[in-house]
Structure 1
Amino acid sequence: MYWNANAFHRSYIEMEKQFKVFVYGEGELPLFHNGPCKSIYSMEGNFIHELEVNKQFRTLDPDKAYVYFLPFSVTMLVKYVYVPNSHDFGPIKQTVRDYASLISTKYPFWNRSLAADHFMVACHDWGPEVSKSNDYLGRNSIRVLCNANTSEGFNPSKDVSFPEINLPNGNTHGLIGGPSPRVRTVLAFFAGGLHGPIRPLLLELWENKDQDMMVHQYLPKGVDYYKMMRKSKFCLCPSGFEVASPRVVEAIYTGCVPVLISDHYVAPFGDALNWKSFSVEVSVNDIPNLKRILMSISTSHYLRMQRRLIQVRKHFEFNSPPKRFDVFHMILHSIWLRRLNVRVHDGLPT
């Protein structure tokens, strides 16, 4: 389940000892130092909040920091700055551009590294587009994005894949846990809207076609979404309009082995976790062969995958306050690893 468990634990402990984050204090509510703590964008607000109140990793002395956090929320920019149906990113980009100009004028750190030791977070689909507001922000900074799409410029060597976690009530109460594999009677399950190019194909080929493949656009009346996940061996996680899907973490929470159906998606925490050991990756072209692919997985192999899934689940759990090895710490660990690739020499990153 880990590429190298010993190496991961060593780097994690090193992060705990050394890593310090400076949060820029500039910017006012509701666009800055704020974000949604519920819904599929919940990790934006929760991460901002947990970092700002954190006493272990946050430093108030910028000279002691390894990285510098830009505490704006893309979701809040969309809510308060974007003009609905205008298709105009201009006002949002200007806000971020002005913010970058402010901190680069007031502090030396942005110009010293050309933003290579700075980071932003965004779970909104428009995160990558907003990052292009400033050339250095888009090209050099560590972008922590749910929309981790390599076909749209996501660079795994410097950017971080941000897990999309749907918290309807702002916490994980009732979301985590599921029965043993012995009582999971459904081979594969999916329910969701026709968003993007992949799901229509999935529904066309599998909806109401096979009793083992419970694929729905709308769940039948009286059928509970999370109960279906807990009854299923595999949970299908096709991309929507963008590559990220909250179903991946929902599947992990409920002990249902996720089936990633996406092209160009970089799964979270891939530096530490070997996703092939606890999930199934299926290309879009192989959607017609879904059942054959899943049926070809032996019972013993499936049981190993499901056991590893339960073991890695702690890395995706949201806690407030955070706990060691949980999703907050894993995000910081991913940022820490990318910061190690940045060398500032004579005022420029090398």
Structure 2
Amino acid sequence: MNVQSWKKILLIILSFISIFGLFILFIIPDHFSKVSISHSSSLPSSSSLSLIDEADQQRRVSRKITSSLGKIEAGLAKSRALIIKKSGANRTVDDHDEDYVPSGSVYWNPDLFHRSYLVMEKELKIYVYEEGNLPVFHDAPCDGILGMEGIFINDMEISRFRTRDPDEAHLFFLPFSIVSIVHYVFERETRLWSDMKNTVIDYVNVIAEKYPYWNRSRGADHFMLACHDWGPEISSAIPTLYKNSIRALCNANTSEGFNLTRDVSIPEIYLPHGTTKGLLGGPSPSKRTTLVFFSGGVHGYIREVLLDHWENKTEDGVKIQKYLSKGEDYYDEVRKSKYCICASGWEVASPRMVEALYMGCVPVLIKDHYAKPFNDILDWRKFSIDIGLENIPNLKTILMRISQRKYIRLQRNGVQVRKHFVVNLPPKRYDVFHMILHSIWLRRLNTRIHDPHQP
């Protein structure tokens, strides 16, 4: 056989091998990829195959997470566009609402609020991390002046806004309770905060290691809720939580790190019997005989100044004292009064503000550095009075100068906004649970998250 014949045979063999190789590549790609990754002359060991599988899985998860984040951000961009649509033929949000249509001067922009609320109801999805055991996680007391913490956590567990798929979530809820941490973790003998802070640090570390979502956004699409005064300080143990996450706080003090553009102020609400039964409503303005009322202990410098100037003064219409006389009822006194003092104690939060709204008394806020709840939606000037610490001696003069017409308008506006502070079990549309969620929803709308691993 000559040289030319051998060349033809060799060419046929090489062509066959090439075709067979293409067959392996397309028909059994998984096997091909595993083998071809190794540059060793021998087949990969079982341990190296395990590493290859893990790396491949991580890449797939990363692509999936990036894709889900892109969809979430695109959906939020669409929501923003729907909300800012002007009235008229171009409106794309159905404004038909059987329950309530916001209107009037108590809202900065009732039309915008309504559209935002309706879009929230349609689109918002929240993932609640399931890690953590009772009683520190997923539960908290629902009674006492810190009861809103437990009420919200329990409502969130069964909320229709909750999703079981984290890839479709706009927000991630960290379901730890500061009230429970203080009760079960805090060592009163040592008075050290380290164990409480470490509880939150450990929890966030578990979340960050198990899921990709915390690291993806550096906590910016995560939120916590705390009604205990120590919530801000304990949250500061994690810099990314303190600086990036949404903190819904009763103790909304701007001098202690509360960020008006990122954090959410929530009302402190005291339900003596676990519900609002017997708390809502009061007589008309014409039947309120007390000009201004306050009763409470000396907790903090503001109350000290207030009581120094006005305690047990005999001036007509002013009833300010530490404690009520025997036989007098606190809520009866609120219902008799036109104005009710809502002064800070050791911290800025107080249930008196909501109690006044519940019973038709105009709140008089004497608070330093306080971020009012739902202030991005409600114009508090239309249903409350602010008085600075320096004006406490002039309290009666200031209130007497308010015309009867203006007082009636303030009182009626307070009755109108009351629905947004009511605790319903289970929650109802536009109530305090939904208003808290709406405030958190607004913060998420104003946050654009970009995966740092993507160009």
Which bracket does the TM-score occupy, shorter chain normalised? over 0.9
Q: What are the superposed Cα offsets for residues 172-216 of structure 1, whole Å, 9 maximum, x if unpaired? A: 111111110010000000001110111011011001112321001
Q: Report the CA distance between 1:261 and its aligned residue.
A: 0.2
Q: How far does residue 231 in structure 1 lie from its aligned partner after superposition?
A: 0.2
- Residue 22 of structure 1 aligns to a residue in which SS? strand
Question: Does the 8 Å contact 1:112/1:347 carry over to 2?
Answer: yes
Match of 1:105 among 203, 209, 213: 209
Q: Which residue of 1 aligns with 2:199?
A: 95
| Distance in structure 1 (CA, Å) of the matches to 2:229 and 2:407 | 33
- Tell me the distance in 1 between the aligned counterparts of 2:403 and 2:182: 46
Q: Does 1:340 align with 2:445?
A: yes
Could you list the per-position Cα deviations for residues 139-177 of structure 1 after superposition, in whole angstroms to 9, with x for gaps in the alignment?
110000000000001001000001100012211111111
Q: Which of 225, 229, 250 does residue 125 from structure 1 map onto? A: 229
Conservation of the 8 A alpha-carbon contact between 1:114 and 1:348: no
Structure 1 partner of 2:396: 291
1:273 — aligned with what? Answer: 378
Q: Which has the higher contact order (CA 8 A, sep 6+)?
A: 1
Tell me which amino acid in the other structure corresponds to 1:276.
R
Deviation at 1:67, TM superposition (A): 0.5
Structure 1, unaligned runs of 5 or more: none
Q: Is 1:76 matched with 2:180? A: yes
Q: For 1:169 and 1:134, locate their aligned partners in 2 and report how far apart those are by CA, in whole Å.
A: 36
Aligned residue pair count: 348
Does 2:419 correspond to 1:310?
Answer: no
Give the conservation status (yes or no) of the 8 Å contact 1:111–1:347: no
Bigger radius of gyration: 2
| Aligned twin of 2:343 | 238
Q: 1:187·1:233 contact (CA, 8 Å) conserved in 2?
A: yes
> Structure 1: which 4+ aligned runs deviate by more than 4 Å?
none
> Does the 8 A contact of 1:44 with 1:73 survive in 2?
yes
Paired amino acid for 1:331: I
Deviation at 1:118, TM superposition (A): 0.4
CA distance, structure 2, for counterparts of residue 90 and residue 262 of structure 1: 30
The partner residue of 2:286 within 178, 182, 196 is 182
- 1: CA distance, partners of 2:453 / 2:312: 58
**Aligned partners of 1:189 and 1:43: how far apart in 2?**
25
Q: Tell me which residue corresponds to 1:152.
A: 256
Q: 2:242 is aligned with what amino acid?
A: G
**What residue is the counterpart of 2:121 in the other structure?**
16
Q: Paired residue for 1:253? A: 358
Confirm or deny: 8 A CA contact 2:175 2:224 kept in the other structure.
yes
Structure 2: stretches of 5+ with no match in the other structure: 1-105
Identity score, percent: 59
TM-score (norm 1): 0.98
* 2:310 pairs with 1:206: yes
TM-score by length of 2: 0.76
CA distance in 2, matches of 1:213, 1:122: 35
